[in-house]
Structure 1
């Protein structure tokens, strides 16, 4: 067997060793009774997904691909023991206790886009017209994606409407190719979702994408640029690309087609990202944007590069630093709350970089 293949398998197995201990259920059949005063927060997450509905109602959506978008709203409670940057997850065999773990308390499905858009628009109006779209990455189950966005919203103090665009990841480390194809299949549906949001009362639509989700996002923005509506009729706000799992040459091509953005895209990079190292090996040892070391080269395309290499992640893979660092996720939330977003703070790059040394 080729040495590179062995290295890829070894790294994938090491990553898999940290997975599988948590339940994939987002709803529990039996939940420990809890009052509102016993939880730290309750957040409504709106869902647009290319996943199929699961045969297990407690999982809601699985990793299979749907030909059309499915819509839902999930209410998630945050436990009082929550530590910023962490997601307290229930392990298999433990009780569904909202005082200890992130828990979904309610799932509402919408069988048509107009019904979903109506509920979404009401929430957007109630929250001041701000929307944050989160696009997750590779090896991410539906439950993982919902809880990650909930954690980001809670820790950052984001006051607007959170929308999860969840594409059909297989949620297995060995499903990299399947995930990449699922991401490709989801591009048009992300475009549909963004255009739908632009038709609501939203004043500003920010996008936070992670890992392979940044590739879906960039492809969709490229498509919007080709149609002549690259900024969603002026409603596109900040675009934050965390640990981008995109070939550097592909990213440059995407940016050339999109053109220099009116507001520089924010790239959060780290050259010790082991997950991107694996991705690079699979892609023929080609550099990924998320661990690319030539910041000046990327900046010439109209992006702001933030190097988080000195910051330690919560695990050995250093792939989710944007959400793991309590001070960083709070600062991202603070910037997104401003009318001008990241542009409101010219020193934000220096201050985020300073966080990495704390």
Structure 2
């Protein structure tokens, strides 16, 4: 897993990056193993008091940090070339710690059989349910750095860049795509592939405004809805009666903006 993050490096020796914001991007790579007992859709994590056991739990190893973007880009480019030129960028959501984001991307790549290079864009979530406002501000502060990351990927040997974003991560993603559209490079020089927005934590009117500014995409964005998303339920409570995109099921309306809706409510795995 390659990592570009707006989190600060942690002073805690048991952590790599914490929930504090960094003014600049930090780069790293980590290897993660998936246990043979893994069940689709799950993340088997070691509970407190249990010993490390790669046959039972997701395990991270061989963490490598990069002190400059060129060094990171060089390592990334080599991996992209070895995997056929396809990249998946994952932008996590609200209330997500760094380790949680790494393991979630690992699970997505493993379960989907994604053949390309996985890249985690991790913004500075406080990883607490009470930090919703902090997380929203952190997400907003990360927009420019996600743009930097996507442009960097477009300058590598990548032939296709897919984006998967969840919850509040969809806000960061849509704002960044909006910025790219304003600069006249909305599809990253033709390299933008699938854009998947899972349970978007965005006001419906704001989302429509973002899509109008972006323009109808050449390939429809995929919007995944689920009644089981806890983060979205909390967002709904904070937002009051204002609908969120993740709750909005007027597929015909969203289709006019170039969005395909897939309702996963009740689906397992």
> TM-score interval w.r.t. the shorter chain?
over 0.9
1:277 Cα offset (Å): 2.4
Contact 1:74–1:108 under 8 Å retained in 2: yes
What is the TM-score when the length of structure 1 is the normalising length? 0.74
CA drift at 1:311: 2.3
Stretch deviating more after TM superposition (133-142 or 80-89): 80-89
1:284 CA displacement: 2.7
Structure 1 residue 240 corresponds to structure 2 residue 202:
no
Gaps of 5+ in 2: none
Q: CA deviation at 1:267?
A: 0.3
Counterpart contact for 1:47–1:165, Cα < 8 Å: yes
Helix, strand or coil for the counterpart of 1:81?
A: coil
Aligned residue pair count: 269
* Whole-angstrom distance in 2 between the partners of 1:47 and 1:272: 28
Q: Deviations over 1:108-138 (max 9, x none)?
A: 0000000000000000001000000000000
**How much is the aligned-residue C-alpha RMSD, in angstroms?**
1.1
Higher alpha-carbon deviation: 135-144 or 88-97: 88-97
What is the CA-CA distance between 1:296 and the residue it aligns to?
1.2
SS at the partner of 2:135? helix
Q: Tell me by how many angstroms 1:272 deviates.
A: 5.0
SS at match of 1:181: helix
Q: Which has the higher strand share?
A: 2
- The SS at the match of 1:233 is coil
> Following superposition, which runs of at least 4 residues in structure 1 exceed 6 angstroms of deviation?
none
Following superposition of structure 1 onto structure 2, how do residues 13-92 of structure 1 map, counting pairs within 5 Å? 45-92=1-48
Aligned partners of 2:143 and 2:172 also within 8 Å: yes
Where 1:191 maps in the other structure, the secondary structure is helix
71-80 or 54-63: bigger deviation: 54-63
Q: Distance in 1 between matches of 2:226 and 2:140?
A: 25
Does the 8 A contact of 2:196 with 2:221 survive in 1?
yes
Counterpart Cα distance in 2 of 1:88 and 1:226: 42
TM-score normalised by L of structure 2:
0.98
Higher-Rg member (1/2): 1
> For the residues of structure 1 that align with 2:261 and 2:93, how far apart are their CA atoms?
20
**Distance (whole Å) between structure 2 residues aligned to residue 310 and residue 78 of structure 1:** 25
| Cα deviation digits, residues 189-246 of structure 1 (max 9, x gap) | 0000000000000000000000000010000000000000000000000100011111
CA contact (8 A) 1:134 1:149 kept: yes
Q: Among residues 207, 219, 227, which one is paired with 1:251 in the alignment?
A: 207
